[in-house]
Amino acid sequence: MASTTIRKIRPRSRPIIRPFFFGTVAFALFTALLVVLFGKPLFVWLFDQDLPGFHYLLAGLIVTGTLYARLLNFYRASQRTISYNIAMVASRFTILAVSLSAILLIAGTIKVYYTSILAAETVIMVVLVGIFLSQSRVSLASFSASFFKSCLRFGFPLIGFELGYLLLKSVDRYIIQFMLGSEAVAVFSVASNMGHYMKDLILFPLMYALTPIYIEIWHEKGREATSRFVSAVANISLLVLIPIFLLMALLGRELIVVLASEKYASAGDLLGVIVAATLLWALLPIYASGLYIAKKTQIISFTVLVCVLLDVALNLVFVRWWGIWGSCYAALLTCFLLAAYLSYRSRHYLKITIHGKTLAVGLAASLVLYGVAALLPDAGHFLGVVFKMAILGLAFAGTVLLLHGEVRRMVVTGLAHGKRLLRSSLR
């Protein structure tokens, strides 16, 4: 439903937000009612023990979590990124503070933990609903059943996408556990988690903001303008991702040693391949943008689920051949085939162009980065690794700015715009 919000709602589209709000409330309450009625026997079946009161907690968390996520997505869909980030950060810290306080001051039990989260989310939900109602006059008459049905038709296929993503992140660990043992799982998990952290830290904000922007451009300016915009983002993203991959490939071992210990040093050797796979996955909003725009979410979900089966098959073969490295190769090949196929299908709706100049500049900057890396000594502590990353990143960025005139003009324009904003804020 988060993707549905972004696809259906455009900036200043209050009439669309209102029925979406009522539909979300009804959907959350209906799901919570099912949990209240059938949650207790389900918990007994799953955990072989009675968990008194937990089905009520789950029902409450479904209501608060759904409304909380939907109201934040209204900010995102309306491109109110400052409001979105403030609300997101404030709510996350509030939930963290309340849950930790409850565990430390009341009791360190699971029930206290989830009850405190429910209490915090309830307060946040009430505040967000109050802000929403103060800004949007809503009534049941504004609810459109046909519109909400179209939202469900768009969003439900993406359940398969989310399920596939969770399986791709976890199924390889079970196969490694079965074939190589727990020690290999620990090493692989360190590398895999680091790869996903890097992806979320760097690419999550960019990709989260991208979808509502190109959806708006599509509706307001048409196919050609959207194609130019997404192509520009794709070319810039490539120049951002290349140094990320190279830094993890070159400095992964040093980074793992200083963050974990020498025990997991071998995990650092895996980082380059794992980061390459996670970056390919993270770029899905770009290379599948045409499918998002054309509402072909069933193609995305079906392809992801097929790739899960492919990943399992490749792991069973590659792990036997190459051990823990085989799982990394399986993930990389799976994500590459996913990107290639969805890019091919997406081109029927939106053409994305990667310029030869971008590839040439990226290659030249990569060679410069490799050359500088060869001159630097190994780092023995965290600040040393950060310093090496900064130097190598600057070497890559400097080469790109020197060789790529369009990127240079974009940076100069951005700096000039930032100066104007700073001056206006100081007046």
What does the domain layout of the chain look like in residue ranges? 2-151, 157-354
Report the distance separating Cα 381 and Cα 387, nearest Å: 10
Q: Residue 147: its pLDDT value, please?
A: 58
Q: Residue 351: its pLDDT value, please?
A: 92
Residue 237 near residue 263, CB atoms below 8 Å: no
Question: Tens-of-pLDDT digits for all 427 residues of the chain?
Answer: 444 444 444 544 444 455 566 666 777 777 888 888 887 787 777 667 777 778 788 888 888 877 777 777 666 666 566 666 677 777 777 888 888 888 878 877 778 888 888 888 888 888 877 777 776 665 555 555 665 566 666 555 666 666 777 777 788 888 998 899 888 888 888 888 888 777 766 666 666 667 777 888 888 888 999 999 999 989 998 998 899 899 998 988 888 888 777 888 888 889 889 999 988 988 888 999 899 888 887 888 889 889 999 999 999 999 999 999 999 999 999 999 999 999 999 999 999 999 999 999 999 999 999 999 999 888 878 888 889 999 999 999 999 999 998 888 888 887 887 777 677 766 6
Tokens representing residue 356 in the block: 């030869």
Question: Considering Cα of 200, then 259, then 94, then 112, what sign does the dihedral take?
Answer: positive
Tokens representing residue 383 in the block: 């600040």
Tokens representing residue 2 in the block: 């988060």
Q: Residue 227: its pLDDT value, please?
A: 93
CA distances from 413 to 127, 165, 234 (A): 39, 38, 19
Tokens representing residue 90 in the block: 């404030």
Report the distance separating Cα 237 and Cα 241, nearest Å: 6
Helical residues (DSSP H) of 9-109, grouped into ranges:
14-47, 54-77, 81-105
Q: Residue 341: its pLDDT value, please?
A: 95
How many of the other CB atoms lie within 10 Å of CB of 56?
16
Q: Does residue 177 sit in helix, strand or coil?
A: helix
Q: Residue 370: its pLDDT value, please?
A: 93
Burial degree of 283 (CB within 10 A; 0-12, 13-18, 19+):
buried
Report the distance separating Cα 118 and Cα 98, nearest Å: 10
Q: Residue 327: its pLDDT value, please?
A: 93
